[in-house]
Amino acid sequence: MRRAAEGPARPQREIGLTHWNGTVSGSDSAPWVWRRGRLVSRHVSGFGREMTPTPGRRLIRYRVVGVACVVALAVGCEQSPVATLRTAADSQTSRPSASVEHVDDLLASAVSRQEVLGVVAIAVDRDGVIYRGAFGAADESNDLPMDADAVFRIASMTKPVTSVAAMQLVEQGAIALDEAAAVYLPELAQTQVLEQFDPPRGTYDLRPPASPITVRQLLTHTAGFGYPFTSDTLRDFEPPAGDGDVVGPLLFDPGTSWWYGTNTDWVGRLVESVSGDNLEAYFREHIFEPLQMPDTAFNVPEADWPRTVALASRQRDGGLLPEARRDLTPVATFSGGGGLWSTANDYARFMRMWLNDGVLDGQRVLLAETVATMSANQVGSLAAGTIVTALPDLSNDFRPTADGRGRFGLGFLINLDDQPGRRAGGSLAWAGLYNTYFWIDPASGVAGVILTQVLPFADPRVLGVFDAFERAVYALVAEVV
């Protein structure tokens, strides 16, 4: 029996996280570490403070200030120069104006009801953009309206990008899915399962896992890692200083359950180790440049910082409290689990690549058979139920796998069943901490993304806007079929 670090219990509102990604380790190569009795991140940008209004701040009731495009549709860790971001919109196809106006109206109404302060939404098919809209404010304090090329923190929407990078290395034979991940990252051989933990007494037992963690398990969130916001055990667990490296700890033996955690952060470390590049350089050369995604990066150039969208937090009365824009702080360590900035235009091109079986505008980033493998259920009957948040200022309770009927592929949630008026069975999806959401529906040839910057995650009002947007997109598509 080991005794955890002494000291008062941490208040539930003390978040101390940079983003909702990372792994717990004492290794210099791991994104999360135990330091001086608490969990800290090696990353220096993102989210990490109590969500307490500062004196003099007030709730802002926004008018609609954006307009829609009414159409019927980075390099290494060193401080090297970064090219200014630039966005070239994809081609747009003609759609019935009444249907487009319906989508405009629902997004504009969401702003006027303060369900969101600002929003950008795009829907695409295999050939191009079928809807693009931008409404509300990007930064009210600086009187900046939302624009279609606004730059958002996309947090865990980084994970599908990291998964694509890993699968490129699988295609090259540099990584094997069912190989022990410790072959590529030796520190993973030190992982241990948390067998018992008594927070009031501060005691815990660790044991070796029954089997090694595989690369496939990291890509499917079945390795046993969690997040402090998805597990009160990990939120409260603190090994004492001098107790050696604690890698994990794992919540269960690898392959025996599904739990949303830091798995893809380890995948990012694996990509860096095998490729010899840091993630920013690898992503740019092998994914963003081929797909013409110039506005997606871990670091936003200073000239483009005004294009970024300010954060807001949902208050108990339902209003949204905007937060002051922070100064630009470049990062030098990159995470596979989160940390990218992007635009709706850029992410739409990533989704269109998927709809076209790994190729876009003549540039292939994945083989068609790899896309099929990543889109297939990789977890058998494993599914997660409702995750009760351990950090309510960071996330609401959420159900990641569609009432237990969802499964997981390699980097994506898979919806097994048709959802009437929405996506078809076999569709892929995921989301980001700041209430950014996307879906990819290969059967219907449609995909969509909606971007906001609201905390906490899984905001019911934003989810309602996402649902309405998705339904409106399928109604728009149905009119021209």
260 is catalytic: yes
DSSP 8-class letter at 182 = G
Q: In DSSP terms, which residues pair with 117 in a beta bridge?
A: none
Convert 258-297 to b/e letters by CB count within 10 Å (16 or more is b): bbbbbbbbbbbbbbbebbebbbbbbbbebbbebbebbbbb
141 is catalytic: no
Choice among 131, 260, 347, 434 that is catalytic: 260
Q: In DSSP terms, which residues pair with 428 in a beta bridge?
A: 414, 440
Choice among 99, 156, 335, 375 that is catalytic: 156
Give 356's contacts (C-beta < 8 A, 6+ positions apart).
126
Peptide bond before residue 249 is cis, with ω within 30 degrees of 0: yes
156 is catalytic: yes
At position 474, the amino acid (one-letter code) is: Y
Choice among 62, 131, 159, 184 that is catalytic: 159
Q: Which strand ranges, in their side-by-side order, compose the sheet holding 454-455? A: 320-322, 312-314, 454-455
Q: What CA–CA distance (Å, rounded) separates 299 from 44?
A: 11
Whole-number Cα distances in Å, 307 to 130, 138, 163, 254, 283: 24, 8, 27, 42, 22
By the 8 A CB rule, do 16 and 393 touch? no
Mapping DSSP to helix (H, G, I), strand (E, B) and coil, where does residue 270 land? helix
**Cα angle at 357 between 353 and 361, to 5 degrees?**
45
Supply 296's token pair.
């997606």
**Which residues have a catalytic role annotated?**
156, 159, 260
